[in-house]
Structures are given as C-alpha cells and as structure tokens.
Amino acid sequence: MNQQHAAKRVLLAHKLFGASRGLSHIGLGIAAISTQKVLRASGIQANIQALNTSHQLATNLATNPHDAVIISAPWIPTIELATIAHNHPETKFAVCCHSNVGFPTSFASS
C-alpha cells in the first residue's frame, strides 16, 4: 500500500439509470467497478454509490465524508452540484463525461 494514498477516500458516484423505465446505462456502473479495483490496488479507499438523486449524494457526504467525489456522467444539475460542493469545501469534485472503460463491455457481442 502506498502510504501517500492510505488516508485518501474517494467516492465513485453514478446515476442509477436502471430505476428509470426504458433506460440502461450499465456502463457507468461497470466503469465505477473497474476504477474502484485500480484505486484500491493503489491503496486508495474507493467506494461506489449508485444514486437516483443528488440529494442522496449530499446525504451520504454529510454522514460519510470523502476526500474526492468522481461523478460518472453530468446528470446532476449544475446548481445542485455547486450547492453540494459549497457545503463540502474539503472535498474535491470531478465529473467524468464518458464511461469509456465499461462502455464496450456492456454489449453482449463484446
């Protein structure tokens, strides 16, 4: 374990599109799992949370703080994400705009 990363806690947050009728973006979850494996192998405490709303993210961070939050896909409205970031100034936020890691594996023909 890399001691530099030992205290780092990263939250990989993705939209739970399966809760929406007729939508499937399983690649977001696959990308989160793949990223989590790499981060954990590097000694970083990486957790995954599938979300239906930005409120769930805010609630989680209030009780379970992280050093960084990586949001898969820009699904949280800017004003809501800005509010969450303002309320957690010690946390770094990033929004990933494409799930290129897991996307090809979400197809049966891959």
* CATH number of residue 55's parent domain: 3.40.50.10860
Q: Is residue 104 part of a domain?
A: no
pTM, full prediction: 0.77
Q: Is residue 109 part of a domain?
A: no
Which residue range(s) make up the domain with 48?
A: 9-88
Q: Is residue 110 part of a domain?
A: no
Q: Are 104 and 34 in contact (CB under 8 A)?
A: no
Q: How many structural domains comprise the chain?
A: 1
CA distance 13 to 18: 15
Q: Is residue 4 part of a domain?
A: no
Q: Is residue 101 part of a domain?
A: no
Q: What is the pLDDT along the chain (110 residues), one digit of tens a residue?
A: 455 655 699 999 988 866 555 555 677 788 888 999 999 999 999 999 999 999 999 999 999 999 999 998 888 999 999 999 999 999 999 998 865 555 555 555 54
Q: So what's the pLDDT on residue 27?
A: 73
Q: So what's the pLDDT on residue 88?
A: 97
